[in-house]
Amino acid sequence: MIWFRFVIIGMLSLTAISVLSYQGIEFYHALKDYLNLNKYL
């Protein structure tokens, strides 16, 4: 049953990676918008 544990760990790490990358993309877009606003002021 050790493969079962590997499958669960793999799914959890995939979820964590996708959440982290999504947050990173959102943060990048927010930062870019903020810098663009400052450029026009």
- Exposure string of 15-33, with b = 16+ CB inside 10 Å and e = fewer, is eeeeeeeeeeeeeeeeeee
Map out the domains of the chain as residue ranges: 1-41
User: Residue 41: what pLDDT?
Assistant: 66
Residue-wise pLDDT for 25-38, tens only, equals: 999 999 999 888 87
Task: Give this prediction's pTM.
Answer: 0.57
